[in-house]
């Protein structure tokens, strides 16, 4: 599973897009590609999480998103509020070898709806793309969070904080 | 189910906190309380979503969060990266009548960990609070999205956009 985030805006989106990346990392997504503004700080912040907490989520800038999506060798899923309930297709999707999940920004070009093999929604209500991605990946990865071995590891606890450093 | 968002910062958080509210609305959460900066634009943006797309999610500012949480008549759940895997407790929680789900900001006062009846995590990895909330509510509400009747209703579709106005 790889993610494509359309139209990153350097002034407005770093925080939302960091959230998208953190959610993706938790499930062991391999790569996030993004178009729009090239943003070194955004890339670095994700690389720093990998360094500290483990994992290898790659964040990579792509200049021409349409060309990249067209050329992607695998199924293309577009997450959109207008799409079919994702649960109608999720089992079908799990059997596919390689998938690119496209997450839109403010204005998604109509071409994306056509390029996508699936246009899927997580409810047909105004939504957070972070929320939609989280719920989609949670089902796609069978509710399994990836295990990491980092320099810093947090252990679950009923009260307070347990942090292990290695 | 009600949500408490700690320490809203008017310059930094409107977008993230709007995402938290949109996710909450989808599941039919009744209210979001928030502390920190009082933010009329934030409140208005959620009220506008209710007006257009239906629903009655209430957004309400609370000056003294600790006092409010202490006085809350029901169980208090704190969503934190340091907590127990939420799935260990989710069935127990569903049976409770009234619940307040506390979502932290940058720095959560240690008191919150003690006030909470449950400190629960959605993975013990650096996370998006929007992502964590989404997955928590998805399980808590048995994967059911609430149905709304608004002025604008989006219908699911395999390609393109279907919008109904009433």
- Check B131 against A127: CB less than 8 A apart: no
pLDDT category, A107, cuts 50, 70, 90? confident
The span from the CA of B82 to the CA of A75, in Å, is 36
Taking the CA of residue B62 and the nearest CA in chain A, the distance in Å comes to 24
The answer to whether residue A106 scores a pLDDT higher than 80 is no
Is A2-165 assigned to CATH 3.40.1280.10? yes
Q: Which of residues 12-51 of A touch B (CB under 8 A)?
A: 12, 15-16, 18-20, 22-23, 25-26, 49
Average of per-residue pLDDT values in chain B = 95
Query: B153 has which bridge partners?
Result: B164
The string of pLDDT tens digits covering residues A76-94 is 999 999 999 999 999 999 9
The answer to whether residue B9 scores a pLDDT higher than 80 is yes
B162 vs A82, A126, A138: nearest CB: A82
Q: Which of residues 100-119 of B touch A (CB under 8 A)?
A: 110, 113-114, 119
pLDDT category, B106, cuts 50, 70, 90? confident
pLDDT of residue B13: 85
- CB contacts, 8 Å: A22 with chain B: 125-128, 131
The span from the CA of B151 to the CA of B137, in Å, is 26
Q: Which of residues 117-146 of A touch B (CB under 8 A)?
A: 119, 121-128, 130-135, 138, 143, 145
pLDDT of residue B166: 83
The span from the CA of A91 to the CA of B139, in Å, is 18
Query: Which sequence spans correspond to the domains of chain B?
Result: 2-165
- Closest chain B residue to A48 measured between Cα atoms? B126
The answer to whether residue B97 scores a pLDDT higher than 90 is no
pLDDT of residue A11: 86
Q: What is the ipTM of this complex?
A: 0.97
The string of pLDDT tens digits covering residues A46-60 is 999 999 999 999 999
The whole-number average pLDDT for the span B46-50 is: 97
pLDDT category, A102, cuts 50, 70, 90? very high
The string of pLDDT tens digits covering residues A124-166 is 999 999 999 999 999 999 999 999 999 999 999 999 899 999 8
CA B122 to chain centre: 14
Q: Which of residues 60-79 of B touch A (CB under 8 A)?
A: none
């Amino acid at each position: 599973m790889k993610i494509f985030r359309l139209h990153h805006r350097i002034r407005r989106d770093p925080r939302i897009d960091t959230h998208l990346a953190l959610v993706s990392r938790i499930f062991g997504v391999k790569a996030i590609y993004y178009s729009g503004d090239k943003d070194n700080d955004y890339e670095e912040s994700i690389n720093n999480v990998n360094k500290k907490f483990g994992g290898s989520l790659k964040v990579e800038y792509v200049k021409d998103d349409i060309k990249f999506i067209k050329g992607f060798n695998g199924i293309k899923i577009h997450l959109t509020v207008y799409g079919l309930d994702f649960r109608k297709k999720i089992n079908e999707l799990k059997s596919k070898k390689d998938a690119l999940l496209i997450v839109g920004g403010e204005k998604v070009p109509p071409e994306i709806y056509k390029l996508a093999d699936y246009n899927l929604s997580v409810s047909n209500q105004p939504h957070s793309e972070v929320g939609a991605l989280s719920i989609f990946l949670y089902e796609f990865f069978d509710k399994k969070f990836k295990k990491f071995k980092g320099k810093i590891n947090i252990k679950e606890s009923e009260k307070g904080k347990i942090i292990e450093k290695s």
